[in-house]
Amino acid sequence: MDTPLAEAPPRSRAKTTGSLSRRMILIAAAWIGLLLFGGGFALDRVLASAVTRNFDDQLQYVLRSLIASAAIDSAGEVLFSRDAAADQRFIEPNSGLYWQVSAPGRPVTDAFPSRSLWDRRLAFGGVHDDRSVHVYNSNQFADEKLRIVERDAQIPGSKIHWRFQVAQSRSGLDAQIAVLRRTLIRSFVLLGLGLVVLAWLQTLYGLWPLRRVREEIARMRAGRSNRVDSAMPDEVAPMVEELNALIEHNERQAEEARRHAGNLAHALKTPLTVIMNAATAQADDLADTVIREARTMRRQVDHHLARARAVGRRGSAHSRAPVWPSLESVERAVARLYRHVRIDVDGPKDLQVHVERQDLDEMLGNLIENAAKYGGGSVFVTVSGQSGFVELMVEDDGLGIPEEDRIRIFDRGVRLDTGKPGTGLGLAIVRDVAEIYGGTVSLEESEDLGGLLVRLRLPAAN
Protein backbone atom coordinates (compact mmCIF):
# COMPACT_ATOMS: atom_id res chain seq x y z
CA MET A 1 0.00 0.00 0.00
CA ASP A 2 1.34 3.43 -0.91
CA THR A 3 2.39 5.64 1.94
CA PRO A 4 0.50 8.93 1.86
CA LEU A 5 2.65 11.99 1.45
CA ALA A 6 2.89 14.27 4.45
CA GLU A 7 0.89 17.39 3.95
CA ALA A 8 2.69 20.71 4.11
CA PRO A 9 1.93 22.61 7.29
CA PRO A 10 -0.57 25.40 6.74
CA ARG A 11 0.90 28.85 6.43
CA SER A 12 0.22 31.01 9.45
CA ARG A 13 -1.60 34.17 8.55
CA ALA A 14 -0.14 37.43 9.77
CA LYS A 15 -2.15 39.49 12.21
CA THR A 16 -3.83 42.41 10.48
CA THR A 17 -5.53 45.61 11.59
CA GLY A 18 -7.82 45.86 8.58
CA SER A 19 -7.38 47.00 5.01
CA LEU A 20 -5.13 49.98 4.50
CA SER A 21 -6.96 50.84 1.26
CA ARG A 22 -10.35 50.70 2.96
CA ARG A 23 -9.05 52.86 5.79
CA MET A 24 -7.72 55.51 3.41
CA ILE A 25 -10.90 55.51 1.33
CA LEU A 26 -13.13 55.78 4.40
CA ILE A 27 -11.10 58.67 5.76
CA ALA A 28 -11.23 60.42 2.39
CA ALA A 29 -14.98 59.77 2.05
CA ALA A 30 -15.67 61.09 5.56
CA TRP A 31 -13.62 64.22 4.97
CA ILE A 32 -15.18 64.81 1.54
CA GLY A 33 -18.66 64.31 2.99
CA LEU A 34 -17.97 66.74 5.82
CA LEU A 35 -16.61 69.41 3.48
CA LEU A 36 -19.46 69.00 0.98
CA PHE A 37 -22.07 69.08 3.73
CA GLY A 38 -20.60 72.25 5.25
CA GLY A 39 -20.10 73.89 1.85
CA GLY A 40 -23.55 72.85 0.64
CA PHE A 41 -25.22 74.16 3.77
CA ALA A 42 -23.44 77.51 3.49
CA LEU A 43 -24.20 77.77 -0.23
CA ASP A 44 -27.86 76.89 0.39
CA ARG A 45 -28.10 79.66 2.98
CA VAL A 46 -26.49 82.19 0.65
CA LEU A 47 -28.64 81.32 -2.39
CA ALA A 48 -31.86 81.01 -0.39
CA SER A 49 -31.16 84.40 1.18
CA ALA A 50 -30.50 85.92 -2.25
CA VAL A 51 -33.77 84.55 -3.68
CA THR A 52 -35.70 85.70 -0.60
CA ARG A 53 -34.09 89.14 -0.73
CA ASN A 54 -35.04 89.53 -4.39
CA PHE A 55 -38.60 88.48 -3.52
CA ASP A 56 -38.71 91.04 -0.69
CA ASP A 57 -37.29 93.80 -2.89
CA GLN A 58 -40.21 93.42 -5.30
CA LEU A 59 -42.72 93.67 -2.44
CA GLN A 60 -40.94 96.71 -1.01
CA TYR A 61 -41.05 98.40 -4.42
CA VAL A 62 -44.83 98.01 -4.47
CA LEU A 63 -45.00 99.22 -0.85
CA ARG A 64 -43.04 102.40 -1.65
CA SER A 65 -45.23 103.06 -4.69
CA LEU A 66 -48.37 102.76 -2.57
CA ILE A 67 -47.04 105.13 0.08
CA ALA A 68 -45.88 107.69 -2.52
CA SER A 69 -49.23 107.75 -4.35
CA ALA A 70 -51.55 107.62 -1.29
CA ALA A 71 -53.91 110.53 -0.55
CA ILE A 72 -56.99 111.29 1.59
CA ASP A 73 -60.23 112.41 -0.05
CA SER A 74 -62.87 114.64 1.49
CA ALA A 75 -64.66 111.66 3.00
CA GLY A 76 -61.49 110.53 4.81
CA GLU A 77 -60.88 107.50 2.60
CA VAL A 78 -57.49 106.50 1.21
CA LEU A 79 -57.05 107.02 -2.54
CA PHE A 80 -54.10 106.47 -4.86
CA SER A 81 -53.21 109.28 -7.25
CA ARG A 82 -51.65 106.98 -9.85
CA ASP A 83 -51.80 103.32 -10.78
CA ALA A 84 -49.42 102.18 -8.04
CA ALA A 85 -51.61 99.14 -7.47
CA ALA A 86 -52.43 98.47 -11.09
CA ASP A 87 -51.18 94.87 -11.04
CA GLN A 88 -53.99 92.62 -12.25
CA ARG A 89 -53.44 90.28 -9.30
CA PHE A 90 -54.57 93.02 -6.89
CA ILE A 91 -57.98 92.86 -8.55
CA GLU A 92 -58.46 89.09 -8.78
CA PRO A 93 -59.85 87.56 -5.55
CA ASN A 94 -57.42 85.33 -3.67
CA SER A 95 -54.77 85.84 -6.36
CA GLY A 96 -51.88 85.58 -3.87
CA LEU A 97 -50.86 89.28 -4.07
CA TYR A 98 -52.51 91.73 -1.65
CA TRP A 99 -52.25 95.20 -0.18
CA GLN A 100 -53.98 96.83 2.75
CA VAL A 101 -53.97 100.28 4.41
CA SER A 102 -55.11 100.43 8.04
CA ALA A 103 -55.45 103.12 10.68
CA PRO A 104 -54.14 102.36 14.16
CA GLY A 105 -56.81 102.33 16.80
CA ARG A 106 -59.54 101.40 14.35
CA PRO A 107 -60.94 97.89 13.87
CA VAL A 108 -59.43 95.89 11.03
CA THR A 109 -62.83 95.89 9.33
CA ASP A 110 -62.36 99.63 8.69
CA ALA A 111 -59.16 99.01 6.76
CA PHE A 112 -58.81 99.78 3.05
CA PRO A 113 -57.90 96.44 1.34
CA SER A 114 -57.17 95.42 -2.22
CA ARG A 115 -59.95 93.63 -4.04
CA SER A 116 -57.80 90.48 -4.11
CA LEU A 117 -58.27 90.12 -0.34
CA TRP A 118 -62.02 89.85 -0.91
CA ASP A 119 -63.57 89.19 2.49
CA ARG A 120 -60.28 88.64 4.33
CA ARG A 121 -58.11 91.17 6.12
CA LEU A 122 -54.45 91.31 7.06
CA ALA A 123 -53.74 91.41 10.76
CA PHE A 124 -51.42 94.03 12.18
CA GLY A 125 -49.88 94.82 15.51
CA GLY A 126 -48.77 97.99 17.25
CA VAL A 127 -47.34 101.17 15.78
CA HIS A 128 -43.82 101.03 14.29
CA ASP A 129 -42.22 104.03 15.83
CA ASP A 130 -38.97 103.54 13.93
CA ARG A 131 -40.74 104.08 10.58
CA SER A 132 -38.67 101.28 9.03
CA VAL A 133 -39.90 98.50 6.76
CA HIS A 134 -40.67 95.24 8.51
CA VAL A 135 -40.61 91.92 6.66
CA TYR A 136 -41.96 88.69 8.12
CA ASN A 137 -43.75 85.43 7.36
CA SER A 138 -47.36 85.00 8.35
CA ASN A 139 -49.62 81.97 8.75
CA GLN A 140 -52.80 83.97 9.46
CA PHE A 141 -54.52 82.43 6.43
CA ALA A 142 -55.01 78.72 6.99
CA ASP A 143 -54.75 77.78 3.33
CA GLU A 144 -52.02 80.22 2.35
CA LYS A 145 -48.65 81.16 3.79
CA LEU A 146 -47.77 84.82 3.27
CA ARG A 147 -44.68 86.95 3.06
CA ILE A 148 -45.58 90.45 4.32
CA VAL A 149 -43.77 93.79 4.17
CA GLU A 150 -45.23 96.69 6.11
CA ARG A 151 -44.44 100.22 7.16
CA ASP A 152 -46.16 103.09 8.94
CA ALA A 153 -46.36 106.40 7.08
CA GLN A 154 -48.25 109.68 7.35
CA ILE A 155 -50.43 110.57 4.34
CA PRO A 156 -50.53 114.26 3.33
CA GLY A 157 -53.67 115.85 4.78
CA SER A 158 -53.87 113.32 7.59
CA LYS A 159 -52.61 113.72 11.15
CA ILE A 160 -52.25 109.99 11.86
CA HIS A 161 -49.80 107.33 10.71
CA TRP A 162 -51.27 104.66 8.51
CA ARG A 163 -50.11 101.05 8.32
CA PHE A 164 -49.27 100.10 4.70
CA GLN A 165 -48.99 96.35 4.05
CA VAL A 166 -48.15 94.37 0.93
CA ALA A 167 -48.43 90.57 1.13
CA GLN A 168 -47.72 87.79 -1.33
CA SER A 169 -48.13 84.05 -1.15
CA ARG A 170 -44.91 82.18 -0.31
CA SER A 171 -45.70 79.35 -2.68
CA GLY A 172 -43.61 80.84 -5.51
CA LEU A 173 -40.72 81.66 -3.20
CA ASP A 174 -40.76 78.21 -1.59
CA ALA A 175 -40.91 76.57 -5.01
CA GLN A 176 -37.82 78.47 -6.16
CA ILE A 177 -35.92 77.54 -3.00
CA ALA A 178 -36.99 73.87 -3.33
CA VAL A 179 -35.74 73.73 -6.94
CA LEU A 180 -32.51 75.38 -5.85
CA ARG A 181 -31.98 72.86 -3.05
CA ARG A 182 -32.72 69.86 -5.27
CA THR A 183 -30.18 71.13 -7.76
CA LEU A 184 -27.60 71.66 -5.01
CA ILE A 185 -28.18 68.21 -3.49
CA ARG A 186 -27.89 66.43 -6.84
CA SER A 187 -24.81 68.39 -7.81
CA PHE A 188 -23.06 67.81 -4.48
CA VAL A 189 -23.96 64.12 -4.41
CA LEU A 190 -22.46 63.67 -7.89
CA LEU A 191 -19.42 65.72 -6.85
CA GLY A 192 -19.00 63.62 -3.69
CA LEU A 193 -19.24 60.35 -5.61
CA GLY A 194 -16.72 61.63 -8.12
CA LEU A 195 -14.30 62.63 -5.38
CA VAL A 196 -14.68 59.27 -3.59
CA VAL A 197 -14.01 57.43 -6.86
CA LEU A 198 -10.99 59.67 -7.37
CA ALA A 199 -9.76 58.83 -3.84
CA TRP A 200 -10.26 55.12 -4.56
CA LEU A 201 -8.28 55.36 -7.81
CA GLN A 202 -5.57 57.36 -6.06
CA THR A 203 -5.37 54.79 -3.25
CA LEU A 204 -5.29 51.91 -5.73
CA TYR A 205 -2.54 53.53 -7.77
CA GLY A 206 -0.62 54.79 -4.73
CA LEU A 207 -0.54 51.40 -2.98
CA TRP A 208 0.16 49.40 -6.13
CA PRO A 209 3.93 49.27 -5.42
CA LEU A 210 3.17 47.37 -2.19
CA ARG A 211 1.43 44.69 -4.26
CA ARG A 212 4.54 44.54 -6.44
CA VAL A 213 6.69 44.05 -3.33
CA ARG A 214 4.40 41.18 -2.28
CA GLU A 215 4.74 39.59 -5.73
CA GLU A 216 8.53 39.94 -5.59
CA ILE A 217 8.63 38.28 -2.16
CA ALA A 218 6.44 35.45 -3.49
CA ARG A 219 8.91 35.01 -6.38
CA MET A 220 11.78 34.82 -3.91
CA ARG A 221 9.94 32.24 -1.81
CA ALA A 222 9.33 30.21 -4.98
CA GLY A 223 13.07 30.34 -5.78
CA ARG A 224 12.72 32.39 -8.99
CA SER A 225 14.75 35.32 -7.60
CA ASN A 226 16.80 36.26 -4.56
CA ARG A 227 16.31 40.03 -4.44
CA VAL A 228 13.64 42.67 -5.01
CA ASP A 229 15.08 44.26 -8.14
CA SER A 230 12.07 46.20 -9.46
CA ALA A 231 12.19 50.00 -9.38
CA MET A 232 10.05 51.40 -6.58
CA PRO A 233 8.78 54.89 -5.62
CA ASP A 234 10.87 56.99 -3.28
CA GLU A 235 8.61 56.20 -0.30
CA VAL A 236 8.84 52.41 -0.81
CA ALA A 237 12.48 52.20 -1.90
CA PRO A 238 13.95 52.44 1.67
CA MET A 239 11.74 49.54 2.80
CA VAL A 240 12.89 47.47 -0.20
CA GLU A 241 16.53 48.32 0.57
CA GLU A 242 16.10 47.16 4.16
CA LEU A 243 14.37 44.00 2.95
CA ASN A 244 17.23 43.20 0.56
CA ALA A 245 19.73 43.91 3.34
CA LEU A 246 17.86 41.52 5.64
CA ILE A 247 17.86 38.83 2.94
CA GLU A 248 21.58 39.34 2.38
CA HIS A 249 22.19 39.15 6.13
CA ASN A 250 20.26 35.88 6.38
CA GLU A 251 22.14 34.47 3.41
CA ARG A 252 25.45 35.32 5.06
CA GLN A 253 24.35 33.67 8.28
CA ALA A 254 23.19 30.58 6.39
CA GLU A 255 26.48 30.45 4.49
CA GLU A 256 28.46 30.82 7.70
CA ALA A 257 26.42 28.04 9.31
CA ARG A 258 27.10 25.75 6.33
CA ARG A 259 30.79 26.61 6.43
CA HIS A 260 30.99 25.97 10.17
CA ALA A 261 29.21 22.65 9.75
CA GLY A 262 31.65 21.67 7.00
CA ASN A 263 34.66 22.77 9.03
CA LEU A 264 33.43 20.86 12.06
CA ALA A 265 32.83 17.75 10.00
CA HIS A 266 36.29 18.03 8.50
CA ALA A 267 37.86 18.61 11.93
CA LEU A 268 36.12 15.56 13.42
CA LYS A 269 36.87 13.33 10.46
CA THR A 270 40.58 12.85 11.26
CA PRO A 271 40.18 11.99 14.99
CA LEU A 272 37.37 9.56 14.17
CA THR A 273 39.54 7.91 11.52
CA VAL A 274 42.40 7.53 14.04
CA ILE A 275 40.05 5.97 16.62
CA MET A 276 38.52 3.66 13.99
CA ASN A 277 41.93 2.49 12.79
CA ALA A 278 43.17 1.88 16.36
CA ALA A 279 40.03 -0.04 17.24
CA THR A 280 40.20 -2.13 14.06
CA ALA A 281 43.84 -3.01 14.70
CA GLN A 282 43.09 -3.68 18.38
CA ALA A 283 46.04 -1.49 19.31
CA ASP A 284 47.46 -1.76 22.80
CA ASP A 285 47.17 2.00 23.41
CA LEU A 286 43.52 2.14 22.25
CA ALA A 287 42.33 3.73 25.49
CA ASP A 288 44.97 6.47 25.37
CA THR A 289 44.20 7.09 21.69
CA VAL A 290 40.48 7.43 22.33
CA ILE A 291 41.06 9.86 25.22
CA ARG A 292 43.50 11.97 23.19
CA GLU A 293 41.34 12.15 20.07
CA ALA A 294 38.18 12.75 22.13
CA ARG A 295 39.86 15.79 23.67
CA THR A 296 40.74 17.02 20.21
CA MET A 297 37.15 16.59 19.05
CA ARG A 298 35.86 18.36 22.16
CA ARG A 299 38.10 21.37 21.46
CA GLN A 300 36.80 21.58 17.92
CA VAL A 301 33.17 21.26 19.01
CA ASP A 302 33.63 23.98 21.67
CA HIS A 303 35.23 26.31 19.16
CA HIS A 304 32.56 25.92 16.50
CA LEU A 305 29.76 26.13 19.06
CA ALA A 306 31.14 29.47 20.26
CA ARG A 307 31.24 30.80 16.70
CA ALA A 308 27.78 29.51 15.89
CA ARG A 309 26.36 31.06 19.07
CA ALA A 310 27.92 34.45 18.27
CA VAL A 311 26.70 34.35 14.65
CA GLY A 312 23.17 33.59 15.79
CA ARG A 313 23.14 36.50 18.24
CA ARG A 314 24.78 39.03 15.95
CA GLY A 315 21.53 39.82 14.14
CA SER A 316 19.91 41.20 17.27
CA ALA A 317 20.00 45.00 17.24
CA HIS A 318 19.23 44.97 20.97
CA SER A 319 22.36 42.98 21.94
CA ARG A 320 24.14 44.99 24.62
CA ALA A 321 26.12 44.19 27.70
CA PRO A 322 27.70 46.38 30.41
CA VAL A 323 31.46 45.94 30.46
CA TRP A 324 32.22 46.45 34.14
CA PRO A 325 29.93 43.72 35.61
CA SER A 326 31.35 41.25 33.11
CA LEU A 327 34.92 42.19 34.07
CA GLU A 328 34.17 41.78 37.78
CA SER A 329 32.59 38.37 37.18
CA VAL A 330 35.55 37.12 35.13
CA GLU A 331 38.02 38.59 37.62
CA ARG A 332 36.43 36.65 40.51
CA ALA A 333 36.42 33.39 38.53
CA VAL A 334 40.06 33.70 37.40
CA ALA A 335 41.20 34.79 40.86
CA ARG A 336 39.87 31.56 42.35
CA LEU A 337 41.85 29.49 39.79
CA TYR A 338 45.09 31.49 40.05
CA ARG A 339 45.29 32.70 43.64
CA HIS A 340 48.86 33.95 43.28
CA VAL A 341 47.91 36.37 40.48
CA ARG A 342 46.96 39.97 41.17
CA ILE A 343 44.33 41.38 38.76
CA ASP A 344 43.76 45.16 38.59
CA VAL A 345 40.97 46.81 36.57
CA ASP A 346 40.69 50.50 35.71
CA GLY A 347 38.39 52.68 33.58
CA PRO A 348 34.85 54.11 33.46
CA LYS A 349 32.15 51.83 34.83
CA ASP A 350 29.23 52.91 32.63
CA LEU A 351 30.42 51.64 29.22
CA GLN A 352 28.35 49.15 27.26
CA VAL A 353 29.05 47.16 24.10
CA HIS A 354 26.83 45.76 21.32
CA VAL A 355 27.65 42.16 22.34
CA GLU A 356 25.69 39.48 24.14
CA ARG A 357 26.76 39.15 27.79
CA GLN A 358 27.67 35.45 27.44
CA ASP A 359 29.95 36.15 24.45
CA LEU A 360 31.57 39.10 26.25
CA ASP A 361 32.24 36.89 29.28
CA GLU A 362 33.79 34.24 27.04
CA MET A 363 36.14 36.69 25.30
CA LEU A 364 37.23 38.39 28.53
CA GLY A 365 37.55 35.04 30.27
CA ASN A 366 39.93 33.69 27.62
CA LEU A 367 42.07 36.85 27.59
CA ILE A 368 42.33 37.32 31.36
CA GLU A 369 42.86 33.59 32.01
CA ASN A 370 45.67 33.48 29.42
CA ALA A 371 47.28 36.55 31.06
CA ALA A 372 47.05 34.91 34.48
CA LYS A 373 48.28 31.54 33.21
CA TYR A 374 51.26 32.73 31.15
CA GLY A 375 52.11 35.93 33.06
CA GLY A 376 54.38 36.42 36.04
CA GLY A 377 51.66 37.11 38.60
CA SER A 378 50.34 40.55 37.66
CA VAL A 379 47.50 41.33 35.23
CA PHE A 380 46.22 44.83 34.44
CA VAL A 381 42.96 45.48 32.54
CA THR A 382 42.17 48.98 31.20
CA VAL A 383 38.77 50.01 29.78
CA SER A 384 38.22 53.14 27.68
CA GLY A 385 35.76 54.54 25.12
CA GLN A 386 37.08 55.67 21.74
CA SER A 387 34.97 57.03 18.82
CA GLY A 388 32.13 54.51 18.80
CA PHE A 389 34.16 51.64 20.25
CA VAL A 390 35.00 50.32 23.68
CA GLU A 391 38.65 49.33 23.97
CA LEU A 392 39.84 46.76 26.53
CA MET A 393 43.58 46.29 27.06
CA VAL A 394 44.72 43.17 28.95
CA GLU A 395 48.39 43.33 29.99
CA ASP A 396 50.56 40.85 31.87
CA ASP A 397 54.14 40.71 33.12
CA GLY A 398 55.08 37.46 31.40
CA LEU A 399 57.53 36.73 28.62
CA GLY A 400 55.21 38.03 25.91
CA ILE A 401 54.97 36.70 22.36
CA PRO A 402 57.56 37.36 19.66
CA GLU A 403 56.29 39.65 16.90
CA GLU A 404 56.71 36.97 14.23
CA ASP A 405 54.36 34.65 16.17
CA ARG A 406 51.58 37.16 16.91
CA ILE A 407 49.66 36.33 13.74
CA ARG A 408 50.17 32.58 13.93
CA ILE A 409 49.00 32.37 17.54
CA PHE A 410 45.41 33.10 16.44
CA ASP A 411 45.24 29.87 14.43
CA ARG A 412 43.24 27.04 15.98
CA GLY A 413 45.29 24.67 18.13
CA VAL A 414 48.52 26.73 18.05
CA ARG A 415 50.27 26.87 21.45
CA LEU A 416 53.67 28.42 22.07
CA ASP A 417 53.96 27.04 25.61
CA THR A 418 53.10 23.34 25.56
CA GLY A 419 54.20 22.86 29.13
CA LYS A 420 50.93 24.20 30.52
CA PRO A 421 47.50 22.66 29.98
CA GLY A 422 45.27 24.18 27.33
CA THR A 423 43.55 23.66 24.02
CA GLY A 424 45.14 26.33 21.86
CA LEU A 425 41.71 27.71 20.94
CA GLY A 426 41.35 30.66 23.34
CA LEU A 427 42.70 33.44 21.14
CA ALA A 428 41.10 31.90 18.03
CA ILE A 429 37.69 32.00 19.71
CA VAL A 430 38.26 35.61 20.86
CA ARG A 431 39.23 36.69 17.34
CA ASP A 432 36.31 34.91 15.65
CA VAL A 433 33.67 36.19 18.10
CA ALA A 434 35.03 39.76 18.03
CA GLU A 435 34.99 39.85 14.21
CA ILE A 436 31.44 38.52 14.15
CA TYR A 437 30.30 41.54 16.21
CA GLY A 438 32.36 43.99 14.13
CA GLY A 439 35.27 44.24 16.53
CA THR A 440 39.00 43.54 16.35
CA VAL A 441 41.71 41.99 18.51
CA SER A 442 45.45 42.55 18.23
CA LEU A 443 48.64 41.62 20.13
CA GLU A 444 51.27 44.13 21.23
CA GLU A 445 54.02 44.50 23.81
CA SER A 446 53.09 46.00 27.18
CA GLU A 447 55.18 49.10 27.94
CA ASP A 448 54.25 49.13 31.64
CA LEU A 449 54.47 45.43 32.58
CA GLY A 450 56.83 44.21 29.85
CA GLY A 451 54.72 41.22 28.84
CA LEU A 452 51.91 40.80 26.33
CA LEU A 453 49.24 43.42 25.67
CA VAL A 454 46.01 42.24 24.03
CA ARG A 455 43.90 45.10 22.60
CA LEU A 456 40.23 44.16 22.15
CA ARG A 457 37.94 46.70 20.41
CA LEU A 458 34.15 46.17 20.43
CA PRO A 459 31.28 48.38 19.12
CA ALA A 460 29.99 50.72 21.83
CA ALA A 461 26.29 50.69 22.80
CA ASN A 462 26.26 53.96 24.82
Q: Are strands 378-386 and 342-346 parallel, antiparallel or unpaired?
A: parallel
Q: Which helix (H) or strand (E) holds 315?
A: none
239-274 exposure pattern, b = at least 16 Cβ within 10 A, e = fewer: ebeebeeeeeeeeeeeebeeebeeebeebbeebeee
Same domain as 285, residue 364: no
Each residue's pLDDT tens digit, 79-138: 777 666 677 888 899 999 999 988 877 777 778 888 999 889 888 765 566 578 899 999
Residues 455, 401 contacting (CB under 8 angstroms): no
Each residue's pLDDT tens digit, 162-194: 889 999 999 999 999 999 999 999 999 999 999
Please provide the DSSP assignment of 353-388 as one string: ESS-HHHHHHHHHHHHHHHHHHSSSEEEEEEEEETT
Reported pTM: 0.52
Same domain as 283, residue 415: no
Alpha carbon distance, N-terminus to C-terminus of the chain: 65
* φ, ψ of residue 200 in degrees (nearest 5): -65, -45
Inside any domain, residue 216 = no
Report how many domains make up the chain.
3
Inside any domain, residue 445 = yes
Give Cβ neighbours of residue 251 (< 8 Å, ≥ 6 apart): 226
Q: Of 206, 222, 253, which one is at a domain's C-terminal end?
A: 206
Amino acid, single-letter form, for residue 354: H
Each residue's pLDDT tens digit, 361-388: 888 988 999 889 888 889 999 999 988 8
Instruction: Give me the domain span that covers residue 95.
Output: 18-206
Inside any domain, residue 6 = no
Same domain as 430, residue 332: yes
